[in-house]
Structure 1
Amino acid sequence: MISVFFDGKCGLCRREIRHYQKVAPPDTFRWVDVTSNPLLLEELGISQVQALRALHARTEDGVVSSGVAAFVVLWSALPRWRVLAWFVSVPGVRWIAEILYEKFADHRFRRLAHCQAALSSHG
C-alpha cells in the first residue's frame, strides 16, 4: 500500500486528495493527514515543516519521495492518471514541473497560518 502524506488543513490539498480517494482502486493508498500524525512523520525522518511544504509518498518497499516525485508515485497508481505520471517523468517536463511545484508550494506555505506556526515552533 502506498502512503500519501498531505496537509489536511489546506483546503486545496483536501479537495485534491478527496478526488484521488474517489478514483483510487481499493486498498491502494493509505491517506495520512500530516497535521494530525506527527509521530508517523518522525518515524520516517520527515519533519512537520517538510511535510507541510510538499506532498510526500512512501511506496510499499519503503521509498519516500516528495513534491513532483510523490505525485508521480500517486498518479502512477491511478488508472486515468498514469499518462500524466509518465508525461511528468520526461526529463525536461520533470524539470519544469519541479520548478512550478516549488514556486506554488512555497507560496502556499507562506500564506497558511498553520504552516507558519509549524515553522516558528520548528526553530
Structure 2
Amino acid sequence: MAIIDQTSGIEASAPMPAIDVFYDGGCPVCRIEVGYYRRIDRAGAVRWIDIESLTDAELPAGKTRDALLGRFHVRDQADGGWHAGVDAFARIWRVLPVWRRFAFVFSVPGLRQLAEIGYRGFLRWQRWHRARRAG
C-alpha cells in the first residue's frame, strides 16, 4: 500500500508491521479485542491474521492450526521469534499507543502469574465455546 507523505508529497511505502498476531476469528471475545486493537493501531504496527481464514498451506512453518488456536500467538517480524499466551499480549501492548506504557505489568512478578491464571481460565472457556461451534 502506498501512502503520500503530507509534508513532501512523495509517495512512500506503508511501514512493515512489527508483529503478526494470530487470533481465533470465531471467538467472539477475540474479535472484540482485536477490533479494539485495530482501531488504535493507526501506525500499522500489527498484522492481524485470523487463523480460521488460513488454508493449511498458509499456516506458518512449524505451527499447526490446533497449536495456534490452543494459545494466543504473536510472531516478531524483526527476528521471527514467537510469543504465546500472556507473553503475546505483552508483545502487542509494547507496539500499541496508550498500552505500551502499561506493558511492564507483564514483567512484574506476581502480576504476570495472575495474568497467566486469568488467561488459562479464558482458554478453558474458549475451548468449550469452540467445541459448541463445531458440534
Identify the range of structure 1 (13-22 vs 24-33) with the bigger mean alpha-carbon deviation: 24-33
Matched, 1:14 2:47: no
1:73-112 aligned at under 5 Å gives the runs 73-112=91-130
Say which of 27, 42, 67 aligns to 2:85. 67
Name the SS for the 1:79 alignment partner: coil
Name the SS for the 1:30 alignment partner: strand
Residue aligning to 1:57: 74
Distance in 2 between residues matched to 1:29 and 1:6, nearest whole Å: 12
- Compared CA separation, residues 41 and 91, structure 1 to 2 (3 A): farther
- What residue identity is the alignment partner of 1:13? C
TM-score normalised according to structure 1 size? 0.83
Distance in 2 between residues matched to 1:41 and 1:93, nearest whole Å: 32
CA apart distance, 1:116: 5.8
Aligned length in residues: 116
TM-score normalised according to structure 2 size? 0.77
- Compared CA separation, residues 57 and 90, structure 1 to 2 (3 A): same
CA apart distance, 1:91: 2.1
Say which of 24, 30, 43 aligns to 1:26. 43
**1:109 touches 1:115 (CA, 8 Å); kept in 2?**
no
**2:87 touches 2:106 (CA, 8 Å); kept in 1?**
no
**1:52 touches 1:115 (CA, 8 Å); kept in 2?**
no
Q: Percent identity?
A: 36
Q: Rg larger in 1 or in 2?
A: 2
The CA deviation string for residues 55-109 of structure 1, in whole angstroms up to 9 with x for no partner, is: 1100121111111000000011012012331112212211111121012112211
Normalized per residue, the structure richer in strand is: 2
